[in-house]
Amino acid sequence: MLNDRVDTAGLPLAVGDLLAILGVLTIGMIQHSTLTPGRAPGVYAPFVIGWLVGAVVIGAYSAGAGESAKAAIPLGIRAWVVAALIGFGLRATPVFPGDLAVAFVAITLVLTGGLIAGFRWLFFKIVG
């Protein structure tokens, strides 16, 4: 089953996807003056865990994702929605730092989804 969900042709997309996720979280921590070496891993972890699950379940790196922006963008957005829901759920527990403010949910969901879609579009414009 994992072979159907992860194909080496789709893996280059992982770089931009992870940069989008970590970038939005990093910018948020900078804006809120909470970026510290001790805190950052706890902020990143719920969403990276969510991304690993969401990307595999949805097939964000399946063979189709590596073929065209038309396939890659919707797969990336769907995977991000799953990942974000997992990340928000984990962040709402006492295990991870931060809270679950409505503004954080909205900004993180929309901005990261837009960056993932934008990166995937740009990737196929450059690579072809």
Q: Is residue 20 a contact partner of residue 116, using CB atoms and an 8 Å limit?
A: yes
Place of tokens 């038309």: 70
* pLDDT above 70 (res 1): no
**Local structure of residue 61 (DSSP, 8 states):** B
**The pLDDT of residue 2 is above 70:** no
Pick the closest to residue 68 from 28, 128, 20 (CA basis): 128
Return phi, psi of residue 123, to 5°. -55, -50
- Residue 80: CB atoms within 10 A of its CB come to 29
Q: For 77-87, how does the pLDDT look when each residue is reduced to its tens digit (9 = 90+)?
A: 999 999 999 99
Domain borders along the chain are 2-127
β-sheet bridge partners, residue 6 = 61
Is the predicted pLDDT of residue 41 greater than 70, yes or no? Answer: yes
